[in-house]
Structure 1
């Protein structure tokens, strides 16, 4: 079997999504959720796990939608858990999703914390490291050209961050740049400023981590070994200069203010494009 290539992006492939149904009300909703996480995380890191109540026309109970980073993890979960009781008296039903049609989803950057979870699982806690090269307040720098217009707009707190991620055993170094901003509603309120200052710094670091990890690929083999590849963007120069040069070349207008996906996207929208195996449903299996 060919090795699987994993990217540090939000997983959208249908073969990474697992449906679990026939969940009874034997346990509370909270107990069911944590039981599902405990069972299905054994087969690989989870991107998300959603628990839903059955429709009103069905018997009381729940179904779950579990999204893995790896299609191999999804296959292993189905093989090991389908028709097994696990944490309840009656057996669960587990099925990898199948799309009704072929859809292409835009690749979204993975939130920094999720990137770290994925790296920890496949590379180990000591297999990689990160370093913040720059974290600076850039508030107001793009408003200097038009003081009159900026005076009419609410004040914004902005931070720029540059992070370097190193894969220790593979001699890979990847840098990422992140910019975050927050509107200051009460400009004379020190408490609000301190709270949002910490929040913006955190978001800038997370976005920089996402940018750095996005240039790294994980190649996972059947025997459990993992190789890494560095694939920079064509116009990416941030990895090619020294830290000293980078500090002097930072240009605010070169970076996007677009928000980063935090891993809370609406899974119901994805479900509209997915289905169980029709033969399985017809047979009531």
Structure 2
């Protein structure tokens, strides 16, 4: 019997959560193949990513796929159910869970707000969690010490968000902080300022939501039941204060500025893989 598996709101990097699929024929359009893979492999659990890539030039025309699950149990089930099956094409696919030849230590990277919500919806249900903005404030200029006689051509626009995520069925609440910053040229079109203000507010909320989810761990049992645990650093006072105290205690220097990133996506750690007939390994 398999033990419960812990899932955090971070990018999965463990090798036993990565599934490789190859021998994918090129008889169908790439978009159709991608949708077919997504339909098949999402049946086994929540997916972090699915990438469909063309074979190298020395190989026959076709594709291979790299799929990341949040649970190693789901990756194992996918291999067992799909290896040597035709599924959506005439020839059988080859499906393997990754086996590393040597260990790598990766820093855990937080999921962005969109993927945090997708993961929470999958395991907790759309009504199993909630979010509430406690404060969203313009804190531009609070830490700047400019010379009064100096004319500044640029200014910094900053927004801070305090947000709370609640899991009512588990008696958990977790608060997160998000700060977004962008440098603006003064005397620009007012419409540009409105657009950038809206983008920064949105990004600050997204960062706060992701930060709140980092303190939550999901425990997935083999029968499908889910438990949740709250884990927070000892020096985290955000969750200990009342909403009124939080709104009156915005210490700017306690927060790390995050420049606005319109893509809003994490960068994955790319690793070079080699494919073999009976197994899949990572190159040294």
In 2, the alpha carbon distance for the partners of 1:62 and 1:12 equals: 23
In 2, the alpha carbon distance for the partners of 1:90 and 1:118 equals: 33
Contact 1:98 1:277 in 2 (8 A): no
Which residue pairs with 1:265 in the alignment? 267
Q: Taking structure 1 as reference, are residues 82 and 7 closer, same or farther at Cα in structure 2, changes over 3 Å only?
A: same
In 2, the alpha carbon distance for the partners of 1:225 and 1:41 equals: 18
Which residue pairs with 2:167 in the alignment? 167
Q: Taking structure 1 as reference, are residues 46 and 63 closer, same or farther at Cα in structure 2, changes over 3 Å only?
A: same
In 1, the alpha carbon distance for the partners of 2:117 and 2:268 equals: 22
The residue correspondences of 1:161-240 to structure 2 (distance < 5 A) are 161-185=161-185, 187-240=187-240
State the Cα distance separating 1:258 from its structure 2 match: 4.3
Contact 1:99 1:275 in 2 (8 A): no
> SS state of the match for residue 184, structure 1?
strand
> SS state of the match for residue 244, structure 2?
helix
More deviation, 254-263/22-31: 254-263
Contact 2:96 2:279 in 1 (8 A): no
TM-score, length-scaled by structure 2: 0.91
Contact 1:187 1:193 in 2 (8 A): no
Q: Taking structure 1 as reference, are residues 264 and 254 closer, same or farther at Cα in structure 2, changes over 3 Å only?
A: closer
Which has more helix, going by share of residues?
A: 1
TM-score, length-scaled by structure 1: 0.91
Contact 1:98 1:275 in 2 (8 A): no
> SS state of the match for residue 16, structure 2?
helix
Which residue pairs with 2:279 in the alignment? 280
Aligned length: 278
The residue correspondences of 1:97-112 to structure 2 (distance < 5 A) are 97-112=98-113
Contact 2:50 2:68 in 1 (8 A): yes
> SS state of the match for residue 90, structure 1?
coil
State the Cα distance separating 1:187 from its structure 2 match: 4.2
Which residue pairs with 1:89 in the alignment? 90
The residue correspondences of 1:39-118 to structure 2 (distance < 5 A) are 39-118=40-119
Instruction: Say what the alpha-carbon RMSD is for the aligned residues.
Output: 2.2
State the Cα distance separating 1:196 from its structure 2 match: 1.5
Q: Taking structure 1 as reference, are residues 2 and 16 closer, same or farther at Cα in structure 2, changes over 3 Å only?
A: same
In 2, the alpha carbon distance for the partners of 1:95 and 1:231 equals: 34
In 1, the alpha carbon distance for the partners of 2:186 and 2:152 equals: 15
State the Cα distance separating 1:16 from its structure 2 match: 0.8
Q: Taking structure 1 as reference, are residues 209 and 87 closer, same or farther at Cα in structure 2, changes over 3 Å only?
A: same
State the Cα distance separating 1:152 from its structure 2 match: 4.7
Q: Taking structure 1 as reference, are residues 58 and 151 closer, same or farther at Cα in structure 2, changes over 3 Å only?
A: farther
State the Cα distance separating 1:156 from its structure 2 match: 2.4
In 1, the alpha carbon distance for the partners of 2:28 and 2:217 equals: 40
Q: Taking structure 1 as reference, are residues 89 and 134 closer, same or farther at Cα in structure 2, changes over 3 Å only?
A: same
State the Cα distance separating 1:153 from its structure 2 match: 6.4
More deviation, 26-35/234-243: 26-35
> SS state of the match for residue 99, structure 1?
coil
State the Cα distance separating 1:157 from its structure 2 match: 1.8
Contact 1:178 1:207 in 2 (8 A): yes
Contact 2:9 2:213 in 1 (8 A): yes
Contact 2:10 2:108 in 1 (8 A): yes
State the Cα distance separating 1:185 from its structure 2 match: 4.4
Post-superposition Cα deviations, 1:166-189, rounded to whole Å, max 9, x if no partner, equal 111111110000111123247421
Structure 2: segments with no counterpart, 5+ residues? none
State the Cα distance separating 1:219 from its structure 2 match: 0.4
